[in-house]
Amino acid sequence: MITQKLNADRQGINTAAEILKNGGVVAIPTETVYGLAANAYDEKAIKAVFKAKGRPQDNPLIVHISDMEMLNEVAEDIPKTAFRCAEKFWPGPLTMVLKRSDKISDCVSAGLSTVAVRMPSEQTAHKIIKESRLPLAAPSANVSGKPSPTTYTHVINDLDGKIDAVVMGAECTVGVESTVITLAGEHPVLLRPGAVTIEQLKEILPDITVDKAVLSELAPGQKAASPGMKYKHYAPQTETFLVEGENFADFVNTKQNALAVCFAEESEQIKIPKIVYGTNTNPETFANKLFGVLREVDKTGVKTVFVHAPEKSGVGLAVYNRLIRAAAFKVIKL
């Protein structure tokens, strides 16, 4: 298959919408990460998405919408709190798990009775959904298990020749995937942290709790509230450790054949090869760089990489959640 490279202009958007209406698979930019989109109502197209990514069949997809009418089409028994969250955080990086309507197939929801829905704010994504007049099921546009793509080059590196087209939009502004919450149970639960923070969500959902799998490994046989949580994810090939604590520079300076992923503030003290992934005082900076850096790690040829863990608050919680998976839960506490 030859993957068409489309510009993020009117013509590119129209072509992308045409391909999607005809059952094709197109990688599109969103504000969080690039998504691999297909018509949410077309089972054959959805199967092609799973195949291109090599994604396990039991991991459901997020459905992307452009207006509230589409929400009523894909979900049912929508609680009032969902409308309040939509008002505050949509369009934007929040995904809500709701009861699914009959229009959503087992294929999209991996057999669950729920559907995950999000309204992206990125204009190209918004226009493609609007133009195609279809809700688009879209996982991140990476090969399953690899870091999510935040540029179209990442997408091409992973999926060239395996998908119909890629829309060459801008670098993603947020850089980590959307916050996922479920409103389908008795109480709201945070399933995956993102740029919409738990602190912000508490203003509308004071009783929201954080799922155990956000910060720890599931015990063998334990059921995941969000199937994506059980897989090793975002992992470089290089053995990765997450390091918590203040004396990061002293710790890594004793290591050989290793790379440090650090904050700008401590960079000068570090004497081994290093990549700066943002400023410690501003989590948005390292959220934005995280996946690009994880993709760089393997190019350095070192044996081990040590990543300095951020604080687990604000967007820092999202970054910590991705890093602990990239490190396959190997955490060193200094």
| Site for Mg ion, rule CB under 5 A | 140
- Cα–Cα distances in angstroms (integers) from residue 116 to residues 60, 63, 102, in the given order: 8, 6, 14
Q: Is 59 in the site for ligand TXA (CB under 6 A)?
A: yes
Fill in the DSSP letter of residue 149: P
Work out how close the CB of 280 gets to ligand TXA at its nearest, in angstroms, rounded to a whole number: 24
Q: What is the 3-state secondary structure (H, E, C) of 5-72?
A: EEECCHHHHHHHHHHHHCCCCEEECCCCCCEEEEECCCHHHHHHHHHHHCCCCCCCCEEECCCHHHHH
Choose the stretch contacting ligand TXA; rule: CB under 6 A; options: 6-14, 59-67, 126-134, 264-272.
59-67
Q: Is 178 in the site for ligand TXA (CB under 6 A)?
A: yes
Instruction: For residue 123, give the nearest of 21, 31, 14 by alpha carbon.
Output: 31
Through-space distance between the first and last CA atoms of the chain, rounded to whole angstroms:
49
Asked if 257 and 303 count as a contact pair (C-beta separation under 8 A), the reply is yes
Q: Is 124 in the site for ligand TXA (CB under 6 A)?
A: no
| Helix, strand, coil tally for the chain in percent (to 5) | 35, 20, 45
φ, ψ of residue 57 in degrees (nearest 5): -65, -20
Choose the stretch contacting ligand TXA; rule: CB under 6 A; options: 2-10, 29-37, 241-249, 326-334.
29-37
Work out how close the CB of 60 gets to ligand TXA at its nearest, in angstroms, rounded to a whole number: 3
Which residues on neighbouring strands pair with residue 116, listed in sequence order? Answer: 62, 97
Q: Is 214 in the site for ligand TXA (CB under 6 A)?
A: no
Q: Is 288 in the site for ligand TXA (CB under 6 A)?
A: no
- Residue number with CB closer to ligand TXA (94 or 243): 94
Among ligand TXA, Mg ion, none, the one that 62 touches (CB under a kind-dependent 5 to 8 A) is ligand TXA
Fill in the DSSP letter of residue 265: G
Work out how close the CB of 65 gets to Mg ion at its nearest, in angstroms, rounded to a whole number: 19
- Residue number with CB closer to ligand TXA (200 or 253): 200
- Residue number with CB closer to ligand TXA (71 or 116): 116
- Token duo for residue 180: 């996922």
Number of residue whose CB is nearest ligand TXA: 228
Q: Is 60 in the site for ligand TXA (CB under 6 A)?
A: yes
Residues near ligand TXA (CB under 6 A): 30, 32-33, 35, 59-62, 93, 95, 97, 109, 112, 114-116, 118, 138-140, 177-178, 180, 191-192, 226-228
